[in-house]
Structure formats: structure tokens, C-alpha cells
Structure 1
């Protein structure tokens, strides 16, 4: 990447993230127990077995740290500090509006450039909305690396918001939410199971919701891009990159 590349990522509260993974990937079938049961049992015996990256500290794994088997908090703390050296901004999902405002500021964009729809929300039968404090603590203790990651960058984000200005942030968040609502009402006819929608709005999973556009907005580029599933939009971005490479290098991308 060019030397002036800006690196951004997103971190989610560990118990909410693990709940999503446990239910979306149906890990209860593997462990033959509910998430609540899994969170409360002694899982140290699992550290002597082979298991996939989603089962423990999955967010660290996505950021290049294999912390599936480690119990060493110092190891995780050092790795988080290394991650901090890479990224210009680490956004937090439960402070998403504030994170987006800071992203806008970092990139010298306008609020209209960062309007969003909430994507890939799971259908209610595939989520557990009410986890007890004890269950949440059990999840965070198991995902100790992700917990250290989240706590570190949430604290850092709060400091950045303070530096940005609390009242200024409140104004910008309110305006951003108004713009999001305005665009949603302009584009979307209804929210429904994504699998029932046509491409490029159709997700391969039956567990998530998607957006059906209003008939008069089906050819509107902004509405199309806002409602497209991630895989469709990534394909669109890749095609743009390939075209740039062909024009710049005079050859097809490898």
C-alpha cells in the first residue's frame, strides 16, 4: 500500500460479538449446549484440543493475532499495543455514530459521505438479546484477549471524542442520524429476509435481513450501493481496482 494509506478497523464488545458468532455459526451443535451453558462451564480443557479460530478471541485473530490457546495477559496487552501502531482509527460498534464522525474527520469527508444503513442484522430467532451479567462475564473471561483489545480501544476512542468536543460530537451525531433516516426513507420500501431478495441485495444466509428498494429507486446508484450485500459491493470495488490497474499498468491484474 502507498505510504500515506490510512488504516481503519472496527472492534465489537466481546460478549455481543461472541453471541453473534455462537448463534450465527451454530456452535451449539458443536459443543452440544447453549451459549449460556457454554459461558458458565470450565473450558480450560478446550485449550488442550484443536478448535477453529471463531471459538476463542476471534477479533484478535482477524487482526493477525492467534490467541486461541494463550492465557498470558501480557502477551495480549503487547499484541494490542502493536495493533495500535498499525491503525489510524479503531472504531467501536456500540459507539458507531461517534466512530463514523471521527472517520469522517480523519478522511476530510462530509457527513453525507458516511451515511449508513445497519447491515446484516440477524433475524430474532438467530440472536440472544438478553444475556445475564454472569453469562457476559463468562464470555469475556473466555475471550480474554478480545476483552483486552476492546477495553483498550474503547478507552482510546472515548479520549478522541473528548478531544473532538462532546457538544460538537453530539451535534454531528444528531445530524448524521437525520441523514441516515432521510436516506433510508428515500430508498427503502421494507426490511425483509435477505435470502428472499434479488441480487445484489440477496445474502447467501437465511439468518440476516436485507433491504427491498422502492420501485422508483431501484436504478438510483446511491440506493443500490447502500442496499447491496457486502459481497456484491466488494465485487464492485474489485472491478474498479482492476480497471485502475489496467489503465495504469497496461495489463490485467494477477
Structure 2
């Protein structure tokens, strides 16, 4: 994670990791945790004022076969944590941050939302997935085989991030009416959000 974010993933001093955590906390209002994706998406849905669960529905892609999962020894686990010190600190901090956000959102409210959301996930899986097939290039991973005539929405749910990114950029261009969409900087986005919030508060 640290490498992908542009940080020095080989540094393991606490002062550097603290500065990175502070920088990320200042830049990101919400960090999603992969194995807590359902809770993360519900918080995202609330933060972006989405009304429809279909906006956050997903299908599980590239699932590892159970036969390919291995139990690691305590010694190996310790070595992995040492080798990935900065990643481990980032994960630990934002995992705890997610706990705090769930508490602020309401534990009982989150429990109820999870039940509703997971019923939508089950419905999407039944509607879209025929079965999981072997992924030829990576035989330890399964891939989705869609039902016949599953529909465009199901097809989109199987897209990778590159294809989906291209699709979203084209959609932006279509609605902007321009050949090239201006991508606001983080500062511009923050300023726009503050202005929108003031406008909403002022209208109440």
C-alpha cells in the first residue's frame, strides 16, 4: 500500500510512519478496508448521500480457491509484519479509524443496514452469476461466469478498474459537453465541498 501511494515503503522508523498516517488522515475522509468492505461501503453511501443500495452493490471477483489458501506459522506472520512495517501501521490505524466511524454512525444502525445491503448482494449474485470458473492465467483464482442474458448491469459489475475508469471518464465527457474533462485538484474539491455545505446549512 505504501509503495502504491508513493511513500518510501522500506523505511520503518516510527516518526516517518506517523507523518504518513497524519498526511493520509488529512487527505482522506474515509479509508475503506477490504475485508470489511460491506461496512466501508455503507459508510461511503452515507457520506455521499446515496439513496439506492444498487449504487454500492458488487460481485466478488477473482476469488481464491480454498484449496489454495495456506495457514501461516507465527514466525512467518511476524516476518511479514516486519517486512511490511509501514503497511501494517497504515492498516492498523485506519482499521481502528473505521471502528470509530462505525460507532459514530451507530452500531445498531450499521447492523440493520448490513442485513439490508447483504440481501441486495445475494440478489445480485443470484441474478448475475451462473457459476465460478477457473481463471486460466491464475489457476488458483476463480472468475465469474455470468448467466445468459444477465444484462448490462451484471456485465459492468465484472469489469476491472481500468475498464471501469475509462467508462467513467467517457461518461464525464458526455455530460460535461467538452472533449476533455477538467479534473479538480484536492484543494479545489475541498473548497467546493465547503461551499456546498455552507449553502445547505444556510438554506435551513
How far did 1:228 drift?
2.5
How far did 1:95 drift?
1.5
Instruction: Name the TM-score, length of structure 1 as normaliser.
Output: 0.64
Matched residue, 1:238? 169
Check the 8 A contact 1:140/1:147 in 2, yes or no: yes
Matched residue, 1:169? 110
| SS of aligned partner of 1:189 | strand
Number of residue equivalences: 181
Matched residue, 1:111? 53
- Note the 1:137-176 alignment, pairs <5 A: 137-176=78-117
5+ residue gaps in structure 2?
182-204
Matched residue, 1:183? 124
Question: Deviation per CA, 1:194-227, whole angstroms, max 9, x where unpaired?
Answer: 44xxxxxxxx65553221111131xx12111112
| SS of aligned partner of 2:144 | strand
Matched residue, 2:160? 229
5+ residue gaps in structure 1?
1-58, 196-203
| Distance verdict in 2 for CA 1:206–1:232, change over 3 Å | farther
Check the 8 A contact 1:210/1:227 in 2, yes or no: no
Q: Distance in 1 between matches of 2:91 and 2:2?
A: 10
Matched residue, 2:146? 213
- Note the 1:58-69 alignment, pairs <5 A: 59-68=1-10
| Distance verdict in 2 for CA 1:137–1:72, change over 3 Å | same
Alignment RMSD: 2.3
Matched residue, 1:48? none
Instruction: Name the TM-score, length of structure 2 as normaliser.
Output: 0.79
| Distance verdict in 2 for CA 1:207–1:229, change over 3 Å | farther
